[in-house]
Amino acid sequence: MKPIILIRPRVLAGQLGIGRSTLWRWVQQGILPSPIRIGGIAGWRPEDIEAAIEQLQQNRKTKSQVTG
């Protein structure tokens, strides 16, 4: 079985250059996916975060094409 790699909230917030409260607000707003919880530990799969960032980039490109 392949080990599950999870990015913990503090690490993800640091990688994104945001505070942890902003991280959780983005989850509530649907900007980022909800974390996976295993035994009371929350974390995100790297591929889920990559997909979310890619989606945000696509949304920005679409908005700039519409308004540009």
Task: For the chain, give the secondary structure using H, E and C.
Answer: CCCCCCECHHHHHHHHCCCHHHHHHHHHHCCCCCCEEECCEEEECHHHHHHHHHHHHHHHHHHHHHHC
pLDDT digits (tens, 9 = 90+) for 4-27: 899 999 999 999 999 999 999 999
Q: Report the predicted TM-score, pTM, of the whole model to 2 decimal places.
A: 0.81
**In one letter, which amino acid is 39?**
G
Could you give phi then psi for residue 42, rounded to 5 degrees?
Answer: -100, 145
Q: Write the Ramachandran bin of 29: left for phi over 0, alpha for psi from -120 to 50, otherwise beta.
A: alpha
pLDDT digits (tens, 9 = 90+) for 24-53: 999 999 999 999 999 999 999 999 999 999
